[in-house]
Structure 1
Amino acid sequence: MAPNNSIEYDADELEAPAWLDDEFFTKVMRNCETDAKDLHLNKLELFPATLKGDHYASVMFRAVVEYQCDGQDKTKRLIVKTMPFEDGNKKDVFEESIIFETEIGMYTQVLPRFEQILRDVGDDTILRAPILFHELSPRKIIIFEDIVPLGYEVLRGRYANAEEIKQSYVKLAKWHAISYKINIEEPGYFDEYHIGIFSMPNLEGNLLVTHGIDALIQQLETMPAMRKYLPFIQSIQGKLYEGTKRTAKEYFDAPKEDAIYVLCHGDFHDKNMMFKRDPNSGKLLDVMLLDFQLSFVGPLVSDLIYSYFLMLDSEQRGDFEQWLYFYYTHFKETLQKIGFEGRIPSLLQLHEQRWQHRYFELFLLMTYLPAWTTIRRGEADLEGAFTSNAVHKQLYADEEFLEEFEKLMRKYLHLGYFEEN
């Protein structure tokens, strides 16, 4: 199964585990063809599902299954998602997590309910790709319909354009609005969605996550023109990660009366989206949100801040207030449309709470953005970023990152992000 151009794929996706065999996929097909009297496989092909750097928490394969069902030849194209199985950082970080339990719940319970709420008010928005099979034992696995044959594509070699960003924020706004209403009217409904990425049991000590600010300081010390920022960074050095964790855990640990809590996507960036266009006109028809393993209840601004760094380019970040306004109009409109009778949060609250969670924003600037910059250029070595001091250090010497870092640092200084409450 291993492709010739293996450098383009994650090493743990070059060879599928032996248990992904004809017997297993026969079980999957029987789960899809529940009325079949006779079913057997004719051919099975497995390939890596994504390119290197597209994802990290799972191992994914694309499967083409040719089978015969009650005398009729059929073909299914599938996306197979399972837990990391090779020894290494990925397995260490995620093997004790509940990311598969979270995603299965999202696909089978939460998102179907969200879609039905929209259908009831005449909105046909699709919030999930078709899920065909899942189990947690003997192995954690989820199988989806491959939506590439349906016309959906991932973005390659570029950032999302304005049209794509708008459609992405529209879907997020609808998702957030529905979950905001449910969370207020049915307390406890989302209680099982309490572990996002910053609540993972084995994340502490990770190079990228908990030592990024140290690498940044070391880099800036070698750059006379950038040393002026060191006192500000050093003033929050011991607070940055703890402040980020407080944001992630706030709803369950110390909820605030004036906060806006929703079910967050948790990993909202355009590599977790696929876009469908009209093949003739090129018009954008849909954006499909993917990967709900890190969904959690938390401050509404969490997904928005995340998208600021992981979906927008430098120029688009300069227009973030415009994107926030666009998002908010659809959030408010959806709440009204689905019959929410409580007090609708104001746009001013969004801006205020963005500042309240500024440590999370600064954390993403100083830890995620260096790695994301190289991922965007197709130069990702995520495993190295998590485990190799040399690779991790190199991220902070990247000229593109440093240029954007200086631009944003000036902005945050002017906004008072380094001042005490």
Structure 2
Amino acid sequence: MPDNATDMEFNADELEAPSWLNSQFIQKVLSDFEESPELVVTDLKITPASAQGDHYASVMFRTTVDYSTSKGRFSKPLIIKTMPEQEGHKKDMLAESHLFETEIGMYCQVLPEFERILLEAGDKTKLYVPCLYHSLEPRQVMIFEDLVPLGYSVIRDRPVTEEEIKRVFSKLAKWHAVSMKVIYERPDFLKEFKYGLFDMPTIQTDPFITTGMGNFIEMLDKLPELRKYKPHFEKIKDTYLQRLEVEMQEFHKYRRNDNYYVLCHGDFHLRNMMFKHNKKTGAFEDAMLVDFQISNLCPITVDLTYSIYMLMESEQRQNMGRDLINYYLTELVATLKSIGYKGSMPTQAGLWQQIHQNKYYDFFLISTFLPLILAVKSNSFKINDMIQNPEARRKTYFLDTYVKDVTKLLPKFEKLGYFKGL
């Protein structure tokens, strides 16, 4: 639910609302939600809800609805999320996915229950924004109250601060902790959440995914200081996606007694978070996670490793996010104790062993997603171009910020033994 701004470039498929998104539709939604059959929409303004680079797996609109009921006249800001209707890559990629079923389940069943469990332990943490309306037929739609008028915004034009990043790790830790308790005590409650990134129907044949390692190897070959790492990645280029799928499916197919499993967010990056600061003092007040479309049961490392590449700043990434992930672990263990978790407590040694064990996720993220997110942060590339245009995608591998990161990260991989036994 990102915020609006006059100077941002919008996604092309969000410039014009579909014909069904009109006053009659919104009037029905609000009259049902407020249980006011006499409700009448008097004015409706619809604009794009997000900037280029904020998201790809949906179409989002922001509306301001003026309406009247027997109690008076009101105005309500809403966010409307739906599936792509324009023909093209985005629609093809998402058409047969479980994204909306997953997100509806998260908003309407899982996150309310997670908050209830926390509140029972005296923790009033808010994990989500309530969903006012959802449907899968005749079209996939979700409607939320807009967070922007409440003071929340997406960080686009500056690095995230340590205080801000710690807050989102704290919320993730609490979410993960409750999920561990539920998995231990009531595993059937979460059994439907099995569709992660690599369960999307077209993901492993999409050129954006399949060309990542080749582009990465090409970059290593062209930079003399990195060429020595090329043979390691050439060894795995034809099989690493299959090895990665094994890592991602571990909970469902290859579960181990010595690993930790959670219901993960699945897309834990900066544009899927909104931050609130005091309007008068500028003091940081809260962070809210959004976009739960690929939340799924998987190794705890999925969100944590993803955060190293997709959330953290370069300087935080250089020690593989150790300080922030150790902070997360402290919050995780404290929450597990407070909610009465009866399973084995995660340890720092066990967590880092699991993170380093799942190295193929590192290989995927550094070769395919890191150039994308750094290009988005640079504001010099459009996300649609990077995903759909091979030449635009190739250029991202030679961004100074990316090359500097890779130059620092690959020696870390070597020191950790990631290249042994490939």
What TM-score does the superposition give when structure 2 sets the normalisation length? 0.96
Q: Matched residue of 2:205: which SS?
A: coil
Aligned to 1:348: 349
Counterpart CA distance in 2 for 1:148 and 1:404 is 33
Written as runs of structure 1 = structure 2, the 5 A alignment for 1:99-178 is: 99-178=99-178
Given that 1:80 and 1:142 are in contact with CA atoms closer than 8 Å, whether structure 2 keeps it comes out as: yes
Counterpart CA distance in 1 for 2:328 and 2:239 is 30
Counterpart CA distance in 2 for 1:268 and 1:297 is 14
Q: Matched residue of 1:78: which SS?
A: strand
Given that 1:243 and 1:360 are in contact with CA atoms closer than 8 Å, whether structure 2 keeps it comes out as: no
Q: After the TM superposition, which of the residue ranges 156-165 and 240-249 deviates more from structure 2?
A: 240-249
Aligned to 2:339: 338
Report deviation, 1:256. 1.3
Percent of aligned pairs with the same amino acid: 40
Written as runs of structure 1 = structure 2, the 5 A alignment for 1:306-385 is: 306-319=306-319, 320-385=321-386
Counterpart CA distance in 1 for 2:5 and 2:313 is 33
Q: After the TM superposition, which of the residue ranges 66-75 and 50-59 deviates more from structure 2?
A: 66-75
Report deviation, 1:156. 2.0
Q: What letter matches 1:334 in structure 2?
A: T
Report deviation, 1:4. 12
Written as runs of structure 1 = structure 2, the 5 A alignment for 1:234-273 is: 234-273=234-273
Report deviation, 1:39. 1.4
- Pair 1:216 & 2:216 matched: yes
Q: What letter matches 1:254 in structure 2?
A: Y
Q: What letter matches 2:337 in structure 1?
A: Q
Given that 2:31 and 2:37 are in contact with CA atoms closer than 8 Å, whether structure 1 keeps it comes out as: no
CA gap 1:73/1:208 in 2 versus in 1, 3 angstroms: same
Q: Matched residue of 2:43: which SS?
A: strand
Report deviation, 1:5. 6.9
Gaps of at least 5 residues in structure 1 are none
Report deviation, 1:151. 1.1
Q: After the TM superposition, which of the residue ranges 10-19 and 382-391 deviates more from structure 2?
A: 382-391
Written as runs of structure 1 = structure 2, the 5 A alignment for 1:198-213 is: 198-213=198-213
Q: Matched residue of 1:375: which SS?
A: helix
What TM-score does the superposition give when structure 1 sets the normalisation length? 0.96
Counterpart CA distance in 1 for 2:419 and 2:192 is 34
Q: Matched residue of 1:225: which SS?
A: coil
Q: Matched residue of 1:361: which SS?
A: helix
Given that 1:65 and 1:77 are in contact with CA atoms closer than 8 Å, whether structure 2 keeps it comes out as: yes
Given that 1:159 and 1:311 are in contact with CA atoms closer than 8 Å, whether structure 2 keeps it comes out as: no
Report deviation, 1:7. 7.0
Counterpart CA distance in 2 for 1:7 and 1:74 is 29
Counterpart CA distance in 2 for 1:363 and 1:298 is 17
Equivalenced residue count is 418
Q: What letter matches 1:390 in structure 2?
A: E
Counterpart CA distance in 2 for 1:252 and 1:335 is 23
Q: Matched residue of 1:369: which SS?
A: helix
CA RMSD of aligned residues (A): 1.6
Aligned to 2:52: 52
Q: Matched residue of 1:8: which SS?
A: coil
Counterpart CA distance in 2 for 1:111 and 1:148 is 21
Written as runs of structure 1 = structure 2, the 5 A alignment for 1:28-47 is: 28-34=29-35, 36-47=36-47
